[in-house]
Amino acid sequence: MTVTTPSPARGRAPVPAPPAVPSRTARRRPPAQRTAATRTLISDADLNRGRGRLVYRVTLVTMAVLFALIFIFPLYWMVTGAVKTPVELAQPTPTLIPQTWHPETYAEAWTKLEIGRFLLNTAFYTVGGWLIQLIVDVAAAYALSKLRPILGKLVLGMMLASLMLPAAALLVPSYLTVVDVPIFHVNLLNTPWALWLPGAANAFNIYVLKMFFDQIPGELIDAASIDGAGRFRTLWSVVLPLSRPVLSVVSIFAVVGAWKDFLWPLLVLRDPEAQTISVALSRLSFTGYVTQNEMFAGLAIASLPMIIVFMIFQRGILNGLSAGALKG
């Protein structure tokens, strides 16, 4: 979101407003978009007049080309670089369109660099971490919002206080905690739990979820309990179905965050067999055993899942970020 790697458990997401009436139509309707008709710095009239129109056109095209060059071309270079031979890649004059064509490099990288294994590792850690985060954080937020136990406010405050802790500053004690978990005295290094359990302690998720649950009318909860639903049943059949927008936001940020994480997996997954694709690619890059085209193939494969997520949830991600900017 800003200029460097955000700490792992810290996505910035919005608090979507819950539907006031839980009717089927209201739930299905996409959130109202702000109309684009509002004017900005320069009026439409100015942009449509003679010189203004020319300046507008030129600026628009220049920016569009610059954006393509700066943000999209490197990815094109990566994807096409993988099918070039190392010799072509090392040429003093770069070739825009590959002169040599070896798509099998992707397959070679997959087997030689064991990309398949690392991709599977990463997917496993990501999905597991996401599920555990959801279960733990939804339950906690539900308790804090709707069951309101004594000292609940204190607990929430202490959880939120952890938002002030930069993950990086807690790196060393967190590592030692994972090496020897207090009370249980187990060593989580090289196990998925080293990623999953610390990830579950996500104050931001709990805050966003609680804010959303708070807006679900108490009458709905009471009605469910009069109908004989227990606490869990109420959560499952009343609260969760209403909470799809917030659950999807929390989920997207959890998945993207887990996939992008680097420093923490680097520390706790020392065993090469257990590593995530990011950590493995970094390790391989230091060995000198990987050619440039194979590395490009590995980088492209590592990016693909996130690009797909972005293409599917692009609106949710960008709007989520926007709402986060406005609400803090």
Q: How crowded is residue 35: how many other Cβ atoms within 10 Å of its Cβ?
A: 6
Residues 75-104 that bind another protein (CB under 8 A): 75, 77-78, 81, 89-94
- Interface with another protein includes 321 (CB under 8 A)? yes
Q: How far is CA 316 from CA 125, 131, 252, 266, 285, in A?
A: 23, 20, 9, 30, 34
Taking the complex as a whole, the smallest distance from the CB of residue 236 to another protein amounts, in Å, to: 12
Q: Of 20-28, 99-107, 196-204, 242-250, which segment contacts another protein by CB under 8 A?
A: 196-204
Q: Does 322 engage in binding with another protein (CB under 8 A)?
A: yes
| 242 three-state secondary structure | helix
**CB distance 297 to 228 below 8 Å:** no
Binding residue (CB under 8 A) for another protein from 24, 25, 32, 182: 182
Which tokens belong to 300? Answer: 């492209």
| Identified binder of another protein from the candidate list 31, 67, 101, 289, rule CB under 8 A | 67
Closer by beta carbon to another protein, 159 or else 249: 159
- In the complex, least distance from residue 315 CB atom to another protein, rounded to whole angstroms: 9
DSSP 68: I
**270, two tokens:** 């020392």
Neighbours of 169 (CB within 10 A): 10
- Joined together, the tokens standing for residue 326 give 């406005």
Give the residue with the Cβ less far from another protein, 27 or 177. 177
Instruction: Work out how close the CB of 318 gets to another protein at its nearest, in angstroms, rounded to a whole number.
Output: 6
Q: Which of residues 237-296 bind another protein (CB under 8 A)?
A: 256, 259-260, 262-263, 267, 277-279, 281-282, 285, 292, 295-296
179 within 8 A of 268, measured Cβ to Cβ: no
Name which position in 25, 28, 30, 39 contacts another protein (CB under 8 A).
Answer: 39
